[in-house]
């Protein structure tokens, strides 16, 4: 199931249920939205983490730009808990949050 980071910044997205795939939001249908989950960090801040396989720089460039446009910050780490060494952690937070 896709985990949409727009909800971190109170933005609405189209539900992926019962609608055609061409109307699903950018975030829900993004190729990197894999093994997604909601988490709370040590400062009680909400975050979304995607843990996809096969991440390319060109994928990240557009993702980071679009994230900034909607008020999200993005961290990228090769220390993904899902399958270290095979997946990448992409962490979304509200841009205004304290880490």
Hey, which bits of 1-99 come out as E strands?
A: 37-40, 46-50, 72-77, 89-94
Distance CA 30, CA 42 (A): 28
Q: Is the pLDDT of residue 97 over 70?
A: no
User: Which residues, 6+ apart, have CB-to-CB distance to 90 below 8 Å?
Assistant: 32, 49, 50, 51, 52, 55, 60, 63, 74, 75, 76
Q: What percent of the chain has a predicted confidence (pLDDT) above 70?
A: 84
- Choice between 22 and 43, residue whose per-residue pLDDT is larger: 43
Q: pTM of this prediction?
A: 0.83
Give yes or no for residue 25 having a pLDDT over 70: yes
**pLDDT tens for residues 30-64?**
999 999 999 999 989 999 999 999 998 888 999 99
Domains for the chain: give ranges and CATH numbers. Answer: 26-94 (3.30.200)
Average pLDDT, the chain: 85
């Amino acid at each position: 199931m896709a985990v949409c980071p727009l909800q971190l910044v109170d933005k609405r997205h189209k539900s992926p249920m019962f609608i055609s795939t061409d109307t699903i939001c950018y975030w829900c249908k993004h190729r990197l939205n894999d093994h997604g989950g909601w988490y709370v960090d040590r400062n009680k801040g909400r975050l979304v983490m995607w843990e996809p396989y096969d991440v390319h720089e060109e994928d990240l460039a557009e993702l980071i730009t679009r994230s900034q446009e909607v008020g999200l910050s993005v961290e990228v780490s090769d220390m993904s808990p899902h399958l270290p060494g095979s997946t990448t952690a992409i962490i979304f937070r509200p841009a205004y949050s304290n880490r």
